[in-house]
């Protein structure tokens, strides 16, 4: 059965005080309640009160996804302004201190904080999650296995968190370093089929490691409740058009891998340990680094590997109607990721408040 390759996109935004440019809890302003009234279930709270999450409907193609995510951003920017706040798309805040941020009152988050303590409290990060509809569960596992190889490439394009607690971290995605303190994060192992994955989940539930499969926070996972493969590796990009380009790239990758499998071919299998080497390089250097070409056993500049990646996918975007969106990946390589652009403003101004202003302007760009 051919998958639908439908799309769902989730973005997590920062709510910012326009005077101090620091994070500010939105909950006191009832922004969440207002958002739910206007946008229904497409808006929800996250663990920290200065984080607000939106999610598109199930979209049949990238055009629908673009319309939905642009609409959500526009509405959330307007809603934030009505409540005396700025909305910012950045995967970490340049100088906010997690210790002064309040946790959203919800039994689910109370349990996470009780279990993970300081690790949960310090998890003040903002991601992008992309769901691709793959209805057959065994197909989903096979696609997840192969997709793992491309996650460092995808992450490098989305990197947008170079600062933490007022410091330049030296990482393009410091968000990734913060999040890996959680258990059951990073890349998953290779699974033979869906029943092997189910056995793993059931063992964790039986032994009180987790109460449900949503507490498996890998960079890519078969979603426990939807028939999707969910890619969770990305920082939230600055611009909505970057989110759409990355979502289209993920959709095209899933479709290409399915086509290979339907022809009894498979993408070459690499160990988690090897792919983790590339992930570290993407986290540290973003688009300016070199990844390892495991086949040739040599280092290759990230941008060259992404060109090879786009060539590998080339027979797929037209079928999905996402050629223009996938092509936008080249624009990201030219202008730099959000992290590169944040660092440019920091080098020019030496002022992290100016970086926040730039991020706020980019969040609105093109809408």
Chain segment 254-272, per-residue pLDDT in tens: 999 999 999 998 888 999 9
Expressed in angstroms, the distance from the first to the final Cα of the chain is 37
- Count how many Cα atoms sit within 13 Å of the Cα of residue 28 in the half-sphere of its side chain: 9
Q: Is 233 helix (H, G, I), strand (E, B) or coil?
A: strand
313, 326 contact by CB (below 8 A): yes
- Count how many Cα atoms sit within 13 Å of the Cα of residue 285 in the half-sphere of its side chain: 14
In a domain? residue 343? yes
pLDDT at position 52 is: 86
214, 228 contact by CB (below 8 A): no
* Distance, CA of 203 to CA of 135 (rounded, Å): 24
47-56, 123-132, 238-247 — most confident range: 238-247
**349 pLDDT exceeds 90?**
yes
The mean pLDDT value of the chain amounts to 92
Cα 286–290–295 angle (5° rounding)?
130
* Distance, CA of 165 to CA of 152 (rounded, Å): 25
The pLDDT tens digits of the residues spanning 303-346 come to 999 999 999 999 999 999 999 999 999 999 999 999 999 999 99
**Block residue for tokens 């607000």:** 52
Residue 177 exposed, middle or buried by CB count within 10 Å (0-12, 13-18, 19+) = middle
Alpha-helical segments (H) within the chain: 31-39, 62-82, 107-116, 118-121, 137-147, 151-158, 174-179, 194-206, 240-262, 272-285, 302-313, 317-320, 323-335, 338-349, 352-364
- Which of 32-36, 45-49, 197-201, 359-363 is predicted least confidently? 45-49
Residue 108: band (very low, low, confident or very high) from pLDDT cuts 50, 70, 90:
confident
Higher model confidence: residue 268 or residue 176? 176
**29 pLDDT exceeds 60?**
no
In a domain? residue 227? yes
In a domain? residue 297? yes
pLDDT at position 243 is: 98
Question: What are the b/e assignments for 37-71, b being 16+ CB within 10 Å?
Answer: eebeebbbbbbbbbbbbbbbbbbebbeebbebbbb
**46 pLDDT exceeds 70?**
no
Residue 163: band (very low, low, confident or very high) from pLDDT cuts 50, 70, 90:
very high
In a domain? residue 300? yes
In a domain? residue 18? yes
Q: Is 137 helix (H, G, I), strand (E, B) or coil?
A: helix
228: which residues sit within 8 A by CB, 6+ positions away? 6, 8, 131, 132, 133, 134, 140, 222
**187 pLDDT exceeds 90?**
yes
Residue 152 sits in a domain whose CATH number is 3.30.590.20
Q: Supply the range of the domain harboring residue 116.
A: 7-364
In a domain? residue 1? no
State pTM to two decimals: 0.95
Task: Report the pLDDT averaged over residues 159-177.
Answer: 97
Domain count, the chain: 1
In a domain? residue 214? yes
In a domain? residue 2? no
């Amino acid at each position: 059965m051919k998958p639908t390759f439908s799309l769902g996109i989730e973005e997590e935004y920062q709510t910012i005080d326009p005077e101090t440019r620091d994070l500010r809890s939105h909950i006191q302003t009832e922004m969440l309640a207002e958002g739910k009234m206007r946008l229904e279930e497409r808006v929800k709270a996250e663990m920290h009160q200065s984080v607000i999450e939106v999610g598109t409907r199930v979209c049949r193609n990238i055009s629908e996804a673009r319309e939905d995510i642009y609409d959500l951003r526009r509405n959330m920017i307007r809603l934030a302004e009505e409540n005396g706040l700025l909305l910012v798309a950045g995967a970490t805040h340049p100088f906010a201190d997690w210790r002064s941020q309040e946790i959203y009152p919800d039994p689910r988050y109370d349990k996470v904080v009780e279990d993970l303590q300081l690790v949960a409290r310090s998890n003040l990060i903002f991601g992008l999650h992309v769901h691709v509809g793959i209805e057959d569960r065994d197909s989903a596992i096979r696609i997840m296995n192969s997709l793992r190889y491309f996650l460092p490439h995808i992450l490098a394009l989305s990197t947008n968190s170079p600062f933490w607690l007022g410091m330049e971290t030296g990482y393009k995605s410091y968000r990734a370093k913060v999040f890996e303190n959680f258990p059951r994060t990073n890349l998953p192992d290779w699974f033979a089929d869906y029943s092997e994955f189910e056995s793993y989940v059931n063992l964790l539930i039986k032994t009180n490691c987790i109460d449900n499969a949503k507490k498996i926070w890998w960079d890519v996972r078969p979603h426990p409740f939807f028939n999707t493969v969910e890619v969770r590796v990305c920082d939230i990009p600055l611009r909505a058009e970057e989110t759409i380009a990355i979502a289209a790239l993920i959709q095209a990758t899933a479709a290409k891998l399915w086509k290979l499998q339907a022809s009894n071919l498979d993408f070459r299998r690499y160990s988690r340990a090897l792919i983790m080497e590339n992930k570290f390089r993407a986290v540290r250097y973003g688009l300016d680094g070199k990844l390892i070409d495991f086949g040739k056993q040599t280092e290759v500049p990230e941008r060259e590997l992404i060109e090879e990646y786009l060539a590998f996918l080339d027979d797929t975007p037209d079928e999905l109607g996402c050629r223009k969106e996938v092509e936008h990946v080249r624009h990201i390589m030219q202008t730099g990721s959000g992290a590169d652009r944040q660092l440019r403003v920091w080098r020019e101004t030496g002022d992290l408040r100016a970086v926040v202003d730039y991020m706020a302007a980019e969040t609105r760009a093109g809408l």
